[in-house]
Amino acid sequence: MNTVETNYVTFPEPLALRSGVAFSPVTVAYETYGTLNNERSNAILVCHAFTGDAHAAFSSKADNKPGWWADMIGPGKAFDTNKYFLICSNVLGSCKGTTGPGSLNPATGKPYGLGFPVITIHDMVMLQKRLLDYLGIEKLLSVAGGSMGGMQALTWPVMYPERVHSAIVIAATYRHAAQQIAFHEVGRQAIMADPDWQNGDYYGKSIPRRGLAVARMIGHITYMSQPSMEQKFGRKLVGKEALGYNFSKDFEVEGYLEYRGQSFVDRFDANSYLYLTKAMDYFDLTENGQKLSEVLASVKADFLVISFTSDWLYPSHQSQELMRAIKATDTDVSYIELTSDYGHDAFLVEIADQARVVSNYLARIARERASVHV
Amino acid sequence: MIKLEYSIIAGIIEPGARVLDLGCGDGALLAFLKEKKDCRGTGIEINHQEVVKCMERGVSVAHGDIDGSLDVYNDRRFDYVILNESLQQVLHIDRVLDEALRVGKKVIVGVPNFCHLGARLQIFFRGQVPVTKALPYKWYNTPNLRFLSLKDFRRFCAEKGITIEKARYLCGGKEISFSTNLFADAGIFVLSRSH
């Protein structure tokens, strides 16, 4: 397998955030896969989801770990690295190399904590655009992502209509709805109710392990589906032959959530959890009271929208609303609801049909929109 | 092998036309029109596997039901709206046709003739619901909701104030022009409505 190293670049110029704050400096962690052609016309930006990172594909030189979308990105895969040049960067506010609340504030010499500004999906996209300017990529062949990555992919052609030929929006929405905000708020409350959270100033001390683990457990429930949980766990017991008649773990699903919660604490920062969920909750392309089709009127990109049948966190009807709004504009959209039992997680694991759809879509865009000879 | 109705439809459509194919199946017709007529086309298809095939052909397509899908489009957004072998599978026929005639300058409808000679003979001599090459389904597995003859369709258009600009008739892979309601197994109609 191909190997890859994470690169870092620091931009000293301030970012004009949506909140009104001018924020600097910002370091971006990013990886690239494949080769940029001479015309610089075969670049695709991949946007990661909530807890993802810049390591989207190949095997990490440092620890051999495969990327989070290694099934979709690679030689001969949907995002074919023999044809395209892929870029993935860690989002603003995360804890995987790009500046976030856990990064050192150069003004104080301590981690930002709650001194980090509240950020939005638009801010993340603005930073990605700065990275592309730095890499010398004038126009993307495509921008793609699932879940929070899909929100970024959708925001790209709205913010920078001249900079992108197409957007692939998977298992996402144009507007975070009440139920989606509600689940996030429960996660945030779990973190902030943990005494170890200490108003976000826990770096170098004991961290809010319990709160962050509970937040992740809730998240995991929303990423699965009723049938996938039933199939995976049913009512199977964990480590015992009969019910314990006490409050130790009885069921396998309890053990699974506990494991997921605990392993998450070791790889993710609680404050980033707060900031990134907030960014998603603030996401609403229609926030100024405009109709979505009016917001999209200036968009020039062609769209591919994908949803999954069992995804109840970002249900198909949200993708269908998006698809209908795009149809009302002059630009073209393809939409498919893929069949899967995996719930919201499907965009990471339901590869076969998703790969067929994405690879053929990219081939068409390369041919028709960007005249890329691949 | 290219189906005769594809050639007929391609012959009707002007080069570079904007086309919407309702019930586009695997996208073969849209791909054909793109290749032969440089059409800018998109389709709507309800079957998930057919949608994947459309994408493999490089055809733009939206997964979903035809019914209720056209209200997002402005009047006369398309040069042609095509319903090839799909109108008889639609529940709200007049609503869909009204909408198609609103968003398309013209509408091309291809329908099977449930009353052609072969079908009539099966009903008369066998006393069974006909199963023919053009109508290969049994009564219990047919996707068709509507069973009409070409005469029925012409009468329907007259009643609804829809102008039939052209009509072409097919019989066993050849074009015919006489006793069409008896001999043709399918008809292709170019429809319009004065706005």
CB A112 within 8 A of CB A105: yes
Of B58, B63, B73, the CB nearest to A364: B58
Six-digit token string for A318? 């949200």
B34, closest residue in chain A (CA to CA): A368
Among residues A147, A225, A316, A340, which one is catalytic? Answer: A147
Would you state the pLDDT for residue B1? 55
Contact B55 A361 (CB under 8 A): yes
Return the pLDDT at B132.
84
Tell me, what's the pLDDT at B195? 59
- pLDDT in the model for residue A323: 98
Interface of A with B in 294-353 (CB under 8 A): 320, 323-325, 327-328, 332-339, 353
Which of A323, A325, A360 minimises the CB distance to B56?
A: A360
Across the interface, do B62 and A334 touch by the CB < 8 Å criterion? yes
The overall average pLDDT reported for chain B is 94
Which chain A residue's Cα is nearest to B62?
A335
- Determine contact, residues A95/A272, Cβ cutoff 8 Å: yes
Taking only the tens place, the pLDDT of each residue in A23-33 is 999 999 999 99
Residues of A in contact with B63 (CB under 8 A): 335-337
Pinpoint the alpha helices (H) of chain A: 121-135, 148-159, 178-192, 209-223, 226-232, 252-265, 270-282, 292-295, 316-327, 346-349, 352-368
Q: Does B53 touch chain A (CB under 8 A)?
A: no
Distance in Å, alpha carbon of B72 to nearest chain A alpha carbon: 5
Are A336 and B60 inside 8 Å of each other by CB?
Answer: no
- Given an 8 Å threshold on Cβ–Cβ distance, is B55 in contact with A357? yes
Q: Do B73 and A328 touch (CB under 8 A)?
A: yes
Residues of B in contact with A332 (CB under 8 A): 42, 60
Please provide the DSSP assignment of A238-277 as one string.
SS-SS--SSSS--BHHHHHHHHHHHHHHTT--HHHHHHHH
Name A268's Cβ contacts closer than 8 Å, sequence gap at least 6: A51, A95, A212, A216
Mean pLDDT throughout B136-149?
A: 91
Report pTM: 0.96
Interchain pair B52, A339: CB under 8 A: no
pLDDT digits (tens, 9 = 90+) for A185-208: 999 999 999 999 999 999 999 999
User: Can you give the pLDDT at residue A373?
Assistant: 63
**What residues in chain A have per-residue pLDDT under 70?**
373-374
Say whether A311 is catalytic: yes
Closest CA to A74 of A361, A351, A308: A351
pLDDT, residue B182, reads 92
Catalytic residue among A41, A165, A344, A345: A344
Across the interface, whether the CB atoms of A360 and B58 are under 8 A apart is answered: yes
Instruction: Give pLDDT, residue A43.
Output: 98
> Does A356 contact B72 at a Cβ distance shorter than 8 Å?
no
How far apart (Å, rounded) are the C-alpha atoms in residues B20 and B43? Answer: 6
> Which one-letter amino acid corresponds to residue A232?
K
**At a CB cut-off of 8 Å and minimum separation 6, what does A36 contact?**
A42, A43, A85, A137
Asked whether the beta carbons of residue B73 and residue A334 sit closer than 8 angstroms, the reply is no
Exposure letters A150-169 (e unless 16+ CB within 10 A, then b):
bbbbbbbbbbbeebbbbbbb
| B69-84: average pLDDT | 97
DSSP string, chain B: ---HHHHHHHHHSPTT-EEEEET-TTSHHHHHHHHHH--EEEEEE--HHHHHHHHHTT-EEEES-STT-STTSPTT-EEEEEEES-GGG-SSHHHHHHHHHHHEEEEEEEEE-TTSHHHHHIIIII-S----SSS---TTT--------HHHHHHHHHHTT-EEEEEEEEETTEEE-SSHHHH-SEEEEEEE---
Q: How many CB atoms lie within 10 A of CB A81?
A: 20
pLDDT, tens digit (0-9, with 9 covering 90-100), for A281-340: 999 999 989 999 999 999 999 999 999 999 999 999 999 999 999 999 989 999 999 999
B172, B174, B175, B179: CA torsion to nearest 10: -40
C-alpha atoms less than 13 angstroms from C-alpha of A232 in its C-beta half-sphere: 16
B143 and chain A in contact, CB less than 8 A:
no
The pLDDT of residue A79 is 98
Which residues neighbour A338 within 8 Å (Cβ) at sequence distance 6 or greater? A306, A307, A308, A309, A346, A350, A353, A354, A357, B48
Please give the C-alpha separations between residue A111 and each of A8, A117, B55, B86, in angstroms, as whole numbers: 19, 13, 48, 63
As a whole number, mean pLDDT of residues B173-193 equals 93
Structure tokens at A209: 């392990």
A147 included as an active-site residue:
yes
List pLDDT tens digits, range B20-68.
Answer: 999 999 999 999 999 999 999 999 999 999 999 999 999 999 999 999 9
Please confirm, yes or no, whether A345 is among the known catalytic residues.
Answer: no
B contacts of A333 (beta carbons < 8 Å): 60, 62
Q: What length is written for chain A?
A: 374
Cα–Cα distance measured from residue A238 to residue A254, given in angstroms and rounded to the nearest whole number = 8
Does ipTM exceed 0.90? yes
Cβ of residue A356 closer than 8 Å to a chain B Cβ: yes
Q: Is B64 on the interface with A (CB under 8 A)?
A: yes
User: What's the pLDDT score for residue A332?
Assistant: 95
Choose from A166, A321, A336, A339 for mutation: most chain B CBs within 10 A: A336
